[in-house]
Structure 1
Amino acid sequence: MLNNSTQTSNSDQLDNAQSELDTFPFVSWLRTVAPYIHSFHGKTFVIAFAGELATDSELENLVEDIAMLHAMGMRIVLVHGSRPQIQEQLALHSIDARYGTGQMLGYRITDLATMECVKEAVGELRLDIEACFSQGLPNTPMAGSRISVISGNFITARPVGIVNGVDFVHTGLVRKVDHESIKMSLDHNKIVLLSPLGFSPTGQAFNLAYEDVACSAATALKADKLIFLSSVHGLKDTLGEHLAEISLPQLTPMLGPDGMEPGELRSLLHTAVKAIKLGVNRVHILPHNRDGALLEELFTHDGIGTMIVASDIENLREATMDDVGGILQIISPLEDEGVLAPRGRDVIERDISCFSVIEHDHVIFGCAALFQFSGGLGELACLAVDPETQGTGDGERLLKRIEARAREIGIKRLFVLTTRTEHWFLKRGFIKSSVDELPKERKSHYNWDRKSMVLIKTL
């Protein structure tokens, strides 16, 4: 029978081992998201959410997520919708909702009685949001934090007017955003809260679409991201697969006469196109009913929604000294597994001009190197992609880039040394060869302990 001290010792060892197992995924995750946190620090995000999010009791979770972004140094402008809240007020007062048709489809006709319901609904929801930020976020990672929220008359509006004989009365459009006051508030570490209400210079109030407010604020601030949390789950391709990213040239045909049907998604996409054309870098469309969707979209490679960009943000280019750290991060795990021959930082720095990298939103996800030898021979080396993007074609694109570089400098045949990826290269035109086929200067450095296979492709 074990004595108490032995039992305690064994128990401590098991606890320590379990602790290491429990901690490792967190450490790995934190290292993965660190580049995003660094990239987003000091950036301006306009986050807009539909009123349905508040009715589905998801508001507190969203506030926790926004509080974390704010703590990481991101400048947050929050815009809320209020359509279900307005509808509730109209029902309480037995007022029928009326909407425009044709080009004004979806726009509420806001008469005087409806406007009073709008004020009541918007005011109540804004107070609920401010209360959520003021409760100290108990039992959360942000417990005890002090977050100040600023709201006010930042939006100047104008009336929609009479369209096709229909007077929209107090329904308005954004005329101007007081971006200087908003920036001043952001500079003082405040979260700015914008409601879908605007005011004319004469003091008249107008009911606005929260999408219009968000887009106008984002463009006036030249925001880095405009994020919509709505009932829309993003775009799908013709096969029904989720589209994590789409550029304006790809999106334009979808919004043509023969494109998608009118609805919330089409409306949001038109808003996204407008925002990007006016200077917003990225527009994201996320589902509001998925807990943590905001964090998942920002801190994972593929996200959870659809990101709309001006052009393809994936960049395949030649490496610079600034990329050494990113290259090492990609190849180090493969070196540890014995897939790649070991290279130190000094070797990468020395050979950096030989490398090409593929980056996505300023984060490196793959690399490859080309070394030239006599006799028209070149070596493809250090081809590696991040495990998260394997199967997406990054390796193929890097190979084509290296082949193009090789042709430019007169290389006729490309060889590669591999221990585990023989079939991948064989499928792409390489054929088995022998060490004797290597150029003399490379053959002298062949590692006979690794016994790498030699594969050659004629360009």
Structure 2
Amino acid sequence: MTDTPEPDTYSALDAPEFAPAQFVRWFREVAPYVHAFRGKTFVVAFGGELVQAGALNALVQDISLLSSLGIRLLLIHGSEPQVNEQLRLKGYSQQLTRGLNIVDAAMLECAKEAAGEIRLDIEAAFSQGLPNTPMSHSHVRVVSGNFVTARPLGVIGGVDYRHAGVARKLDQDALKFALSHDSIVLMSPLGFSPTGEAFTLDMADLATAAAIALRAEKLIFLTGSSGVVEESGGIDTELARADADALLAGGALDEETAFYLGFASKAVKRGVARAHLLPYDLDGSVLLEVFTHDGVGTMVVEDTLDDLRPATMDDVGAIIRLIEPLEADGTLVPRARGEIERDVEKYTVLEHDSVIYGCAALYVHPDEKMAEMACLIVHPDWQGEGEGEILLRHIEGRARAAGVKRLFVLTTRTSHWFIKRGFTPGGISDLPRSKQATYNPSRNSLIFIKRL
């Protein structure tokens, strides 16, 4: 293995001075994520390029922090550039590439050597404990083993791929036992057959299979790509799986992004809650993705957005039925049917099996670049499954598309829900002028504002 170069990374945070209030506010905002993910399983996969770039120590420190917060972690590394370096040093002309490879005996031996060296480097990094470093006083146990039973790819289209393989079975009981006992599980891209043969595995395919088998909360790919780039040049931070598949079918994505997005889509389709594409050259990208609302990469979710659509006149009756109980107990301002019919294009509804079970409305005030989110409702039978979050993110996306810079809500009962999602208290004077004129002091609604 070649000498590791100095890390070529950039910092996501600029903090020229210590700001106690900002730190306390940030720490409090992070707390809900800590509670939500404790005891959940994350599969984190990264290629040998991350190691080659010198970003391993920073990643290990962040993974150790996640582990200390009670998150169960399975790490899977790749080794493509290291295998190619071994091949070059030994005078072989063949090179390992992304995707299918014919793996002869020489390439298999180089893969074993590269995987062994990287595994030892990772274990050594987790063993650090120098004072005044993020690893100080840490005690991280890393477990590796023959967790993967593999089979050969065999002959495909007349081509014998020899020692290239695919995961046939994972020892789920052993993996869950190790994870439940606070160990970080480390896997190399190799598998073994019942006859004792070794096969090379695709890192992304193995990570996807592991995430599916463990019903992981998150599958995280650390890649050389920043994620899916929108036409505006920004990163598309959240994609429904159906939209991800459409992008893949369109063929406009760069090769690396398309490669990992395909596995992310597959994982989510098979039951993984969230799959993420993050840039490994962004210092702290895993922490930023996990503990901030918008994250820094692209997250793929199941196509629950198939149930999310603009309201039509046919939905007015269902919207009224959703609203009526909250109007009766004073949570919402009463709205006449004619008012809802007039504003129906402002509403979005959640529908499942032809049942409307949630809605929200967006009222834009273009002069002030502000918008109000109103009538955010999820039927009680559907609450607790993240539908409110889906509606909120959709409304935020609509607001951004309309050029809105600040989103506000008026509420009497749900202030904590909005605070947890990045809204901060405001006053009447912070509202658009037209909204100030219609504000009802007798309701004493609390005002919360979020910058988009």
Q: Which TM-score applies when normalising by structure 2?
A: 0.68
> Which residue is 2:280 aligned to?
288
Unaligned runs of 5+ in 1: 1-19, 317-347, 359-365, 371-384, 400-416, 427-431, 448-459
Matched, 1:47 2:44: yes
Choose which of 61, 69, 73 in structure 1 pairs with 2:70: 73
> Which residue is 1:275 aligned to?
267
The 1:259/1:43 distance shift into structure 2, 3 A limit, reads: same
1:352 and 1:157 map into 2 onto residues whose CA distance is: 61
Choose which of 240, 245, 249 in structure 2 pairs with 1:247: 240
Choose which of 128, 151, 155 in structure 1 pairs with 2:148: 155
CA contact (8 A) 2:84 2:96 kept: no
Displacement of 1:265 after TM fit?
Answer: 1.4
> Which residue is 2:118 aligned to?
125
Matched, 1:82 2:79: yes
> Which residue is 1:223 aligned to?
216
1:48 and 1:40 map into 2 onto residues whose CA distance is: 18
Matched, 1:188 2:181: yes
Displacement of 1:252 after TM fit?
Answer: 2.1
State the number of aligned residues. Answer: 340
The 1:21/1:51 distance shift into structure 2, 3 A limit, reads: closer
Matched, 1:136 2:129: yes
Indicate the SS of the match to 2:19.
helix
Q: % of aligned pairs identical? A: 45
One-letter amino acid of the counterpart of residue 46, structure 1: V
CA contact (8 A) 2:47 2:77 kept: yes
One-letter amino acid of the counterpart of residue 219, structure 1: I
One-letter amino acid of the counterpart of residue 144, structure 1: H
Choose which of 431, 434, 437 in structure 2 pairs with 1:421: 431
> Which residue is 1:34 aligned to?
31
2:66 and 2:28 map into 1 onto residues whose CA distance is: 17
Query: Over residues 378-401 of structure 1, what are the superposed CA-to-partner deviations in whole Å (9 max), with x where a residue is unaligned?
Result: xxxxxxx99xx79646987979xx
One-letter amino acid of the counterpart of residue 163, structure 2: H
CA contact (8 A) 2:163 2:198 kept: yes
One-letter amino acid of the counterpart of residue 61, structure 2: E
Displacement of 1:99 after TM fit?
Answer: 6.2
One-letter amino acid of the counterpart of residue 257, structure 2: L
Q: Which TM-score applies when normalising by structure 1?
A: 0.67
Measured on the aligned residues, the alpha-carbon RMSD in Å equals 3.6
Query: Over residues 86-129 of structure 1, what are the superposed CA-to-partner deviations in whole Å (9 max), with x where a residue is unaligned?
Result: 011001111122568xxxx7322210011111100001100110
CA contact (8 A) 1:98 1:109 kept: no
2:235 and 2:267 map into 1 onto residues whose CA distance is: 22
The 1:144/1:397 distance shift into structure 2, 3 A limit, reads: closer
Indicate the SS of the match to 2:282.
coil
> Which residue is 1:25 aligned to?
22
CA contact (8 A) 1:357 1:367 kept: no
- Give the structure with higher Rg (CA): 1
CA contact (8 A) 2:99 2:202 kept: no
1:237 and 1:226 map into 2 onto residues whose CA distance is: 22
Query: Over residues 253-308 of structure 1, what are the superposed CA-to-partner deviations in whole Å (9 max), with x where a residue is unaligned?
Result: 2121x332572211111111111111100000000111111111111111110000
> Which residue is 2:297 aligned to?
305
One-letter amino acid of the counterpart of residue 173, structure 2: E
2:70 and 2:88 map into 1 onto residues whose CA distance is: 42
> Which residue is 1:331 aligned to?
none
2:161 and 2:224 map into 1 onto residues whose CA distance is: 26
One-letter amino acid of the counterpart of residue 39, structure 2: G
Displacement of 1:57 after TM fit?
Answer: 1.0
1:250 and 1:204 map into 2 onto residues whose CA distance is: 40
Query: Over residues 188-242 of structure 1, what are the superposed CA-to-partner deviations in whole Å (9 max), with x where a residue is unaligned?
Result: 1100001100001111000011101100100000000000001111001233321
Displacement of 1:368 after TM fit?
Answer: 5.5
One-letter amino acid of the counterpart of residue 45, structure 1: F
> Which residue is 2:90 aligned to?
93
The 1:136/1:227 distance shift into structure 2, 3 A limit, reads: same
Indicate the SS of the match to 2:44.
strand
Q: 1:93-112 to 2 correspondence within 5 Å?
A: 93-98=90-95, 106-112=99-105
> Which residue is 1:3 aligned to?
none
Displacement of 1:248 after TM fit?
Answer: 1.2
The 1:141/1:241 distance shift into structure 2, 3 A limit, reads: closer
The 1:313/1:301 distance shift into structure 2, 3 A limit, reads: farther
CA contact (8 A) 1:97 1:108 kept: no
CA contact (8 A) 1:244 1:304 kept: yes
CA contact (8 A) 1:246 1:312 kept: no
1:446 and 1:306 map into 2 onto residues whose CA distance is: 40
The 1:189/1:397 distance shift into structure 2, 3 A limit, reads: same
2:23 and 2:433 map into 1 onto residues whose CA distance is: 34
CA contact (8 A) 2:373 2:408 kept: no
The 1:116/1:395 distance shift into structure 2, 3 A limit, reads: same
> Which residue is 2:312 aligned to?
none
CA contact (8 A) 2:147 2:174 kept: yes
Indicate the SS of the match to 2:195.
coil
CA contact (8 A) 1:276 1:310 kept: yes
1:446 and 1:156 map into 2 onto residues whose CA distance is: 64
Unaligned runs of 5+ in 2: 1-16, 309-325, 334-357, 361-371, 377-391, 411-426, 445-452
One-letter amino acid of the counterpart of residue 189, structure 2: P
2:112 and 2:235 map into 1 onto residues whose CA distance is: 38
1:31 and 1:398 map into 2 onto residues whose CA distance is: 22
1:291 and 1:181 map into 2 onto residues whose CA distance is: 32
Q: 1:440-451 to 2 correspondence within 5 Å?
A: 445=442
One-letter amino acid of the counterpart of residue 48, structure 2: G
> Which residue is 1:201 aligned to?
194
